Every structure is written in C-alpha cells, then in structure tokens.
Chain A
C-alpha cells in the first residue's frame, strides 16, 4: 500500500473539484492507502467548522470526519491562506491541521504519488 498526497486549491461548494479530491481520498483510504490532503487558497474553506448540510449543496464535512477516524488520512490547511480569508485557529474543524506551505512539500517528499489539483 502507498501514500498519495493531494494538493487542492479549488473552492468549497462552488466547484465540485474539491468533492473530487475528497472522494478520491476516500477511495484510496478504502483500498488501504494513506492520504495526505493539503488545501491552500480558496480550498482552505474546507477546513472551516460549522458547515451545514443543505439538499442542493455538496457537503464534505461528514466524509472528512469519517476519513479522520480511519487514521490513514490527514488534512492540513495553509495557515496564511486561511487567515487571509478570516479563518482563524478557533474556526477550524476538528481533525484539521494548519501549517505553512513547506508542509505540503514535505508531504510530497514522502509520497508515492502526488496529485496537484490547483484551483477553480
């Protein structure tokens, strides 16, 4: 089994690209792989707590909590990108880490595969 690092910068809800990244993570973890999930830019909103589930809106928070519980998934938000958007440490969903961009590079160092999704 291997390690996949995913870096995603796409917006939450407004684009299904972030959903793709989370669903791919889910599929990888189910198969026994480890996933490091890095969000930067607009994707940092995925780390914000208090996301509500409405019928017409994608809701990823529950899937993330299930992934955290497996122990094979870690998610980290870019601290600078989050703070610039007004998301502070106390606004962060349980399970998420916050680090600077070098964390992502270190994750890539140790990964078997890296999928950098960029932004939408």
Chain B
C-alpha cells in the first residue's frame, strides 16, 4: 500500500489559458484514480497557488454567466468539498493587494468543511519538498 503525493503548483492566470482549470480538474480526478491502482494505493493531490496564480482564488467570478464555463472559484470549492489541501501564497496576495475576504477560502455554502490556507511561500516550499512529483501549471 502506497500513497504518492502530487503537488499541483498553480502559477497561471485563469481563463485566457486553461492551465489552472486543468490543474484543478486533474487534482480532483484523484477521487477516481483507484480504479487503475492496486488495492490500498492512493494518489494525494495538494494544490498551491503562487505568483499571479493566486488570482484564481478571487470570489465572485462570473465565468458561467458570461462564457458558460465553470469558474475557478467553483472548481476550488469543489476541491475543498472533497477535502483537498489548498494553499495560497501570502506574499503574493500581499504583493497584489488582495484582501483575505476577497478570496474563496471555504466551501461552506455547498457543505464543505475544509478550508484553504493562506501561508508564506516558505511553507509552500516545504510542501514541494515533501511531494513525490511536482506539476507546475
């Protein structure tokens, strides 16, 4: 029985490219990966937003209304609903003058209990060191 940890490190801005959306959907796909693995083996994703990637985490995204696509906000909530670990770089939200209350940090409105964490980059560095593989998106 083994668990492999995959770090999805999101640095891309949303919508112009699908990089950050695909990061979230791939991470969420960990829910069904066991069909390919031996009994007891698991893949554990951790998603970290860094650089301009923290802008994926803003609230009130209206992508569905204007483009008919699920917003990154909703993808993040879906991840939190599945108890995925999500981290947002503090230095980058400070650099971009983003207030904490502008960020989607929980999925309480859809029954989720896990919250996203705002952490210094040094914590994200430690997370990266503990991952088996890194996927920069």
A residues in contact (CB < 8 Å) with B = 7, 9, 40-42, 100-106, 108-109, 111, 113-114, 116, 118-119
Contact = CB atoms under 8 A, between A and B. Distances in A.
Nearest to A111: B133
Given A9-B18, A106-B37, A116 B136 contact: yes
A37 to B, nearest CB: 15
Determine the main DSSP class of A at the interface with B: mixed
Contacts, number: 69
B18 A105 contact: no
Contact of A105 (B12, B19, B30, B136): B30
Contacts of A40: 22, 26
B126 to A, nearest CB: 20
A105 to B, nearest CB: 4
A38 to B, nearest CB: 9
B17 A105 contact: no
Contacts of B37: 106, 109
Nearest to B36: A106
Determine the main DSSP class of B at the interface with A: mixed
A7 B29 CA distance: 15
Contacts of B29: 100-102, 104-105
B51 to A, nearest CB: 13
B48 to A, nearest CB: 14
Nearest to A104: B26
Interface string B31-61: 1110111000101010000000000000000
B77 to A, nearest CB: 18
Given A7-B135, A114-B135, A116-B135, A106 B33 contact: yes
A102 B36 contact: yes
B137 interface: yes
